[in-house]
Chain A
């Protein structure tokens, strides 16, 4: 078997992964990045909105600063985040944006003078100061106090990804694509690298490294309906959890979006509803006003998703070959509005549905969107449980998002956290040496080869991986989607238990040779089902509603009992995850309070306890 060695092995070459890699390369360390797809195809490139950073250059961002950004982030997280981490993030974000500008990102810049903008379908004027001309500008995004989202036209993620990958090329970082890590090499204390399947040849390779970083993005593909790329399937989480000692943080914290198109689940912006678009059911009648008389379609993201789900369950969904959906109607907004202000929506409908939104209805359904959940790390990005293992970006639960992530904070996290954690990895590499135990390496390599051989020979059974996967996805859609309750979650866990057994008996239909996809799917299905069980079990146990975790039977946010973070372990040989809990944050800069949106009751924690943990910012 081919064996490669590097100081740092980064699994996943999206924005977070490459940003981490760049720091080590700048410090003179040898770095290898592995990616399932060519780096620039990473899901980072699909984030079109932008990155939040309190630069305060544009007129509508005037008076913004890192404190306001920090506050927005903490509130957004519904006080589920680690405030020390959120502070690190908010403080570093503006510097990172400037660094990216230096490296080559073509950020949109301030254009002086009067211009107009739209809010809630109304037109307003703003004046950009001449002295700010040419500085990085920002747009409004995700309901923040100030305009803070730095962007490059409609392709921020793509543009930053290009720059970051260019930087990697400049620094001579080995970015290897079509390489999938299928397990970590470790001895229970120390991570030594990974066993990797080459997606060109299907052969296994060994990558040894002093430090390993998991930067594989989210795991939206555990759900049937998701906006995520097909590569966001939790591969990184699976190998971390498979060690038995690394926990997944807050697996129940998953964000949804009300309007993904059917069948491809590509997002259409909420601006459609903001501008007057309506939701229709199978009879082409509006229904949101029945559930939400005041706000109707303008209710918050989660509420709209919930009511849509509810209405479909009441038999009012539109049947299709891809499951039930509802209609989004923007026909009445007219050609001019659709082809200018909703141009992106128009293009998505034309390109991926062949639907003309001026005359036709758009098929939509709620869909999974983002995972706050991830490999739990400390503030330095070091994973719990294994020395030498790190994680950054959506893959990690570094935990600046808590139970709800703000728009524009996710893309910013990739590079900001990547930079911070990258520096910490450099410190680690400078201060630590690793001994590679050939016994552990060889037995892991052998174990993985055996798994593949068993799949090909069908020795363990003949279960079809695609069927098991589809049932898992469906189970989560049914029991662990936007709104959750005891009964559905219990059923979900039961169904998943059955699937877990079946996932151990997968046999291939194909020959499994070369760049075979069935092997890849089969290798991770068991881990995926485990991950799904972590989500469902953690959601079942958490008897409160916080951020994106909504329990119909426990609608209040319970700071008395649940101001904490779930840690889901999967010790070897177990059939259920082991849930542990830790305090959400080491201290409060902002004590728990009202978010100011989303409504909901709060069961307050003991004021004295909060008081004791509250600090005043020293800066």
Chain B
């Protein structure tokens, strides 16, 4: 027989007027190779179908199932119960708007982020279907992909001390997004244009360097390097603007 796992789960359904925020205890027997994906679905199907949480790919690719697992933001689908103690505390990610129980609204947050960062290639070139593609160095392509690996799970935002203190802070995910376009030769934006977006306390200069973003990132993105890179680049851009004036 496996361990008896005790789940302490945050419960609150804003759409239910009888519901008040509280912690609820569930008990379930552990089975081999159990992940939180297996466990939570069993809880819902066997014990409480009203339990709200998100899963999608359940393979660590999509980022849907981020939650605070025993204090740390992480992806539930790639958390194995055998790596956890018998008491497992699950909370929804802070910062994001609560939808219910363990589910938060990352969708809206990230769509706003796309608009703030103008998360797309800015180019005046038109696509010509008759022409060969523009060439690119493979190393550059791989560098871009390295930053594009972000799955928008929201862990870095939830773990960020700055974001918790200031709602308008862009956070590592948004800054990493900018870094992705800065290194992309197809994007024609200048340093000054990037500066207009992130050269302030909502952006890179708001970062206090607590680095929990990097330490909790389930995709192990080199976030600190990007933040440092952007701070230097934007800092220098400001000085250059000052000198030219």
Please give the residue numbers on chain A whose beta carbons come within 8 Å of chain B beta carbons, in ascending order. 37-38, 40-43, 45-46, 48, 95, 97-99, 101-104, 106-111, 133-137, 152-153, 155, 158-159, 162, 165-167, 169-170, 175, 177-178, 200-202, 229-231, 262-264, 266, 320-322, 348, 351-355, 363, 465-466, 470, 508-518
A98 in contact with B133 given A37-B64, A40-B62, A510-B50 (CB within 8 Å): yes
Name the B residues within 8 Å of A109 (CB-CB): 135-138, 141
Most central of B44, B57, B114 by chain A CB within 10 Å: B57
A263 in contact with B151 given A37-B62, A99-B127, A169-B114 (CB within 8 Å): no
B63 touches A102 (CB 8 A): no
Which residue in B15, B82, B114, B137 is a CB contact (below 8 Å) of A354? B82
Number of interface residues of B (CB under 8 A): 71
A508 touches B49 (CB 8 A): yes
Q: Is residue B106 contacting chain A, with contact meaning CB distance below 8 A?
A: yes
* Nearest chain B CB to A66 CB, angstrom units: 14
B16 touches A513 (CB 8 A): yes
Chain B residues numbered 107-148 whose CB sits less than 8 Å from any CB in chain A:
107-108, 110-111, 114-115, 118-121, 125, 127, 129, 131-138, 140-142, 144-145, 148
Name the A residues within 8 Å of B13 (CB-CB): 513-515
Name the residue on B nearest A261 (C-beta): B33
* Nearest chain B CB to A549 CB, angstrom units: 27
> From DSSP, what is the main secondary structure of chain A's interface residues?
loop
Which residue in A155, A178, A263 is a CB contact (below 8 Å) of B145? A155
A322 in contact with B133 given A38-B106, A466-B45, A514-B13 (CB within 8 Å): no
Q: Is residue B105 contacting chain A, with contact meaning CB distance below 8 A?
A: yes
* Nearest chain B CB to A397 CB, angstrom units: 24
Name the residue on B nearest A158 (C-beta): B61
Q: Is residue B38 contacting chain A, with contact meaning CB distance below 8 A?
A: yes
B142 touches A229 (CB 8 A): no
Chain B residues numbered 75-105 whose CB sits less than 8 Å from any CB in chain A:
77-78, 80, 82-83, 99-100, 103, 105
A229 touches B16 (CB 8 A): no
Name the B residues within 8 Å of A470 (CB-CB): 45
Name the A residues within 8 Å of B59 (CB-CB): 46, 264, 266, 348, 352
Contacts across chains A and B counted by CB atoms under 8 Å: 217
* Nearest chain B CB to A226 CB, angstrom units: 11
Which residue in B15, B120, B135 is a CB contact (below 8 Å) of A133? B135
14 contacts between A and B (CB under 8 A): A46-B59, A98-B132, A101-B133, A101-B136, A106-B136, A135-B132, A153-B145, A158-B61, A166-B121, A170-B118, A178-B105, A353-B33, A514-B16, A517-B49
Taken together as a complex, chains A and B put the C-alpha atoms of A135 and B131 apart, in Å, by 12
Name the residue on A nearest B121 (C-beta): A104
B120 touches A170 (CB 8 A): yes
* 8 smallest beta-carbon distances between A and B, as pairs: A514-B15, A134-B135, A510-B50, A38-B107, A321-B31, A177-B107, A41-B62, A106-B144
A510 in contact with B49 given A41-B57, A95-B129, A200-B99 (CB within 8 Å): yes
Most central of B51, B136, B152 by chain A CB within 10 Å: B136
Name the residue on B nearest A44 (C-beta): B62
* Nearest chain B CB to A519 CB, angstrom units: 9
Taken together as a complex, chains A and B put the C-alpha atoms of A137 and B137 apart, in Å, by 11
A106 touches B83 (CB 8 A): no
Name the B residues within 8 Å of A137 (CB-CB): 138
Chain B residues numbered 145-175 whose CB sits less than 8 Å from any CB in chain A:
145, 148-149, 151-152
Q: Is residue B203 contacting chain A, with contact meaning CB distance below 8 A?
A: no
Encode B65-83 as 1/0 by CB contact (under 8 A) with A: 0000000000001101011
Name the A residues within 8 Å of B194 (CB-CB): none
A40 in contact with B49 given A106-B142, A135-B132, A515-B15 (CB within 8 Å): no
B152 touches A263 (CB 8 A): no
Name the B residues within 8 Å of A351 (CB-CB): 60, 78
* Nearest chain B CB to A220 CB, angstrom units: 12
Which residue in A38, A110, A178, A513 is a CB contact (below 8 Å) of B138? A110
* Nearest chain B CB to A583 CB, angstrom units: 32
Knowing that A101-B136, A466-B45, A512-B50 touch, tell me 17 more A-B residue pairs with CB under 8 angstroms.
A37-B54, A37-B107, A41-B57, A41-B64, A97-B133, A102-B133, A103-B127, A109-B141, A135-B132, A162-B148, A230-B58, A351-B60, A352-B59, A352-B78, A470-B45, A514-B13, A515-B99
